[in-house]
Amino acid sequence: MAGVSWDDAERYAEWAGLRLPTEAEWEYACRADTSTRFYTGGKDKDLERAGWYSKNSGGQPHPVGQKELNSFVLYDMHGNVWEWVDDDWHDDHEGAPDDGSAWIDEFRGAYRVVHGGSWINAARNCRAANRDFNPPGNRFLDIGFRLARSVALGL
């Protein structure tokens, strides 16, 4: 779903009994045990197989699932639409939680993190590690979300 604010995505997640992924979870899911720029490889041409971006989108978003999925069976982690995550924006990862939890300021910052790049972006913006920010009330046609679920592990 695109054109949804972070605020709306958060409310929908709560209604569904789910949540937005953390920044660390999102990148882990995107990489899917790879270390390259895209889960399909390290070159711009490798993005062609994984996602929609400025060179192959025809200037519009596309239905999910038309490109190659990653080894975690996830589609559209690169390109198509940016995805909101739960974290507040920080310029770098210095001081970020090391347990995979969301980095949320005491009084919630003015910006939230988005990942993945979109159908209007260059390949460099669709890298697994690339991130950007937007105010939580913004609704753009190239920003959407996916949901995560917490699973209790019994030992």
| pLDDT block averages, 10 residues each, the chain of length 155 | 93 97 97 97 97 97 96 97 97 91 90 97 97 96 95 66
Question: For position 106, what pLDDT does the model report?
Answer: 85
Whether the Cβ atoms of residue 119 and residue 142 lie closer than 8 Å to each other: yes
Q: Which CATH fold topology does 1-147 show? A: paralog of FGE (formylglycine-generating enzyme) (3.90.1580)
97, two tokens: 């939680």
Euclidean distance between CA atoms 63 and 78, whole angstroms: 13
- CA dist 17 to 7, 28, 136, Å? 16, 22, 20
Question: For position 34, what pLDDT does the model report?
Answer: 97
pTM to 2 decimals? 0.93
Euclidean distance between CA atoms 66 and 58, whole angstroms: 14
- Residues contacting 95, CB < 8 A, separation 6+: 103
Question: For position 152, what pLDDT does the model report?
Answer: 67
- CA dist 10 to 63, 65, 82, 89, 108, Å? 22, 24, 15, 16, 13
Question: For position 155, what pLDDT does the model report?
Answer: 58
Nearest in space to 103 (alpha carbons), one of 85, 115, 116, 127: 85
Q: What are the residue boundaries of the structural domains of the chain, listed by start?
A: 1-147
